[in-house]
């Protein structure tokens, strides 16, 4: 039999999802249908633009709102009265008002499902393969762990999405990052994404959407995949994606918003076609070996400036590129470190376990496994990503483990990751944090952040300094 005259070329997962959502094209820009929009308190500007143009939300059932960035993580029993700052309190109230006015589903401050907008949608089954999801937050990339295309947008674009359920975009290039093998002892998904960013740089993914492939990601839990995709934005990428598989389907099955009955069967028929075809061509390929990755820690002021915990603070004089050398010197100066000092010698003042990167139940289990080995030497906070995570952790007794070790057990929210809700570092304070950004002042003006995994954060709490968690676990 002769082959077809115009065979369909192999397609990437990005191709398949993107092509399904194109409505029209104009001068290189494509009008895309948007399946879901995720907003938080910061979306007030988008609602203001809607009002100014006399528009309403086109499909309110496809828009989901979350009180997370501005809610307090302590004193929640006082309700809105517990938010001392009037400006922050008004942000929370305004989202409640806008959601009610436009018929948008709100996972509000008093909702038993409340939590971070990148934690709750997967829990509820709102996030599904093949969808195009836009969020009012750059870490919307998290949802790509389910084999969907998800990215953050600004207020003007969000207004357009809410008014029309569409968005104009230029096509991004594709990148595949392949990692094979089983990670070593003590190495977590957070270490893997930090190692990737240290390898390709904070601009390594610029103009690209990354697909993560290989046995390392296939063997990873859904929660681990979410951690990896969450920080794709820190490598400069527009989004990150991982092909859906049996783990994806098992995670989603029977979630409140997941398809049911015949709709589930139809969805599965589509989802199983999504993985990239054999022979699909990517614009860029990167390969790493899991065995080469160790527990990571950042020493500088961007996620690229990281190294294995066994490493040292670099010396700018050893760097040939003058621009990189200057950036390194500036970061070391801000962080008040000394070139050549061992990373494991860096004393810390606070520990934060939380954020949309690392506040799921698996993250808390990993941290608790270390916390039970001693007592915290510095103030240490554990902030679950949602009320469901919090309740499950309490059912498993994890809260008791943390409290016995001297950690503070808090209510769900973005907390110290964003420092816009009353939780922040004081000038000069140094924090071992499971969040996603270590920019200058990210956790509070003058604060110094070191990004680590949940287990590494717990180890730092017990020792009062950045610590190789493997040594603690091996002696347990």
CATH fold for the domain made of 173-292: Aconitase; Domain 2 (3.40.1060)
**DSSP states of 149-212 as a string?**
EEEE--HHHHHHHHHHSEEEEEPPEEEEEEEESPPPTT--HHHHHHHHHHHH-TTTTTTEEEEE
pLDDT in tens, the chain (476 residues): 565 556 789 999 999 999 999 999 998 899 999 999 999 999 999 999 999 999 999 999 999 999 999 999 998 888 888 888 898 899 999 999 999 999 999 999 999 999 999 999 999 999 999 999 999 999 999 999 999 999 999 999 999 999 999 999 999 999 999 999 999 999 999 999 999 999 999 999 999 999 999 999 999 999 999 999 999 999 999 999 999 999 999 999 999 999 999 999 999 999 999 999 999 999 999 999 999 999 999 999 999 999 999 999 999 999 999 999 999 999 999 999 999 999 999 999 999 999 999 999 999 999 999 999 999 999 999 999 999 999 999 999 999 999 999 999 999 999 999 999 989 999 999 999 999 999 999 999 999 999 999 999 999 999 999 999 999 999 87
What is the architecture of the domain spanning 297-474?
Answer: 2-Layer Sandwich (3.30)
CATH 3.30.499.10 maps onto the chain at 13-169, 297-474
User: What's the pLDDT score for residue 383?
Assistant: 98
Q: Which long-range contacts (CB under 8 A, 24 or more apart) does 21-26 make?
A: 21/132, 21/149, 23/166, 26/168
Structure tokens at 246: 């049996």
d(CA 293, CA 288): 9
d(CA 260, CA 266): 10
Structure tokens at 444: 């509070």
- Backbone Cα Rg of the chain: 22
User: What's the pLDDT score for residue 5?
Assistant: 59
CATH tag, 13-169 = 3.30.499.10
**Dihedral, CA of residue 425, residue 429, residue 431 and residue 437, to nearest 10:** 60
User: What's the pLDDT score for residue 404?
Assistant: 98
User: What's the pLDDT score for residue 84?
Assistant: 85
Assess contact for 301 and 439: CB atoms under 8 A: yes
Distance, CA of 259 to chain centre: 25
User: What's the pLDDT score for residue 6?
Assistant: 60
Q: What is the pTM of this model?
A: 0.96
């Amino acid at each position: 039999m002769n082959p077809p005259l115009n065979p369909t070329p192999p397609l990437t997962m990005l191709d398949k999802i993107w092509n399904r959502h194109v409505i029209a094209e104009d001068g290189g820009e494509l009008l895309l249908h948007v399946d879901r929009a995720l907003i938080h308190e910061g979306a007030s500007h988008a609602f203001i633009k809607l009002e100014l143009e006399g528009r309403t939300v086109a499909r309110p059932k496809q828009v989901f709102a979350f009180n997370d960035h501005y809610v307090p993580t302590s004193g929640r029993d006082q309700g809105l009265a517990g938010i001392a700052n009037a400006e922050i309190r008004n942000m929370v109230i305004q989202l409640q008002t806008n959601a009610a006015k436009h018929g948008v589903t709100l996972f509000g401050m008093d909702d038993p499902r409340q939590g971070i907008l990148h934690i709750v949608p997967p829990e509820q089954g709102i996030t599904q393969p093949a969808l195009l999801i836009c969020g009012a937050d750059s870490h919307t990339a998290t949802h790509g762990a389910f084999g969907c295309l998800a990215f953050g947008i600004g207020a003007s674009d969000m207004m357009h999405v809410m008014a029309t359920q569409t968005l104009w975009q230029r096509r991004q290039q594709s990148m595949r990052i392949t990692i094979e093998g089983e990670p070593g002892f003590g190495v977590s998904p957070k270490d893997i994404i930090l190692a990737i960013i240290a390898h390709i740089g904070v601009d390594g993914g610029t103009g690209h959407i990354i697909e993560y492939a290989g046995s390392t990601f296939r063997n990873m839990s859904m929660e681990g995949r979410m951690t990896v995709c969450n920080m794709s934005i820190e490598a400069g990428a527009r989004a990150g994606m991982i092909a859906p598989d049996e783990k994806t389907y098992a995670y989603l099955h029977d979630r409140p918003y997941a398809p049911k009955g015949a709709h589930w069967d139809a969805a599965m028929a589509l989802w199983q076609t999504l993985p990239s075809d054999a022979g699909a061509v990517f614009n860029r390929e990167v390969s790493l070996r899991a065995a080469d990755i160790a527990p990571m820690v950042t020493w500088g002021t961007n996620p690229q400036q990281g190294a294995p915990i066994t490493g040292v603070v670099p010396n700018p004089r050893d760097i040939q590129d003058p621009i990189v050398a200057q950036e390194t010197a500036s970061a070391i100066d801000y962080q008040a470190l000394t070139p050549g000092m061992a990373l494991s010698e860096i004393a810390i003042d606070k520990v934060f376990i939380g954020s949309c990167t690392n506040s799921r139940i698996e993250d808390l289990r990993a941290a608790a496994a270390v916390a039970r080995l001693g007592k915290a030497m510095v103030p240490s906070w554990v902030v679950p990503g949602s009320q469901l995570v919090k309740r499950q952790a309490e059912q498993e007794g994890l809260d008791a483990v943390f409290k016995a070790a001297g950690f503070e057990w808090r209510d769900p929210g973005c907390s110290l990751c964003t420092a816009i809700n009353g939780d922040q570092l004081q000038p000069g304070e140094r924090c071992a944090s499971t969040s996603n950004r270590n920019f200058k002042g990210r956790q509070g003006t003058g604060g110094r952040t070191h990004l680590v995994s949940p287990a590494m954060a717990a180890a730092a709490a017990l020792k009062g300094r950045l610590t190789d968690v493997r040594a603690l676990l091996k002696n347990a």
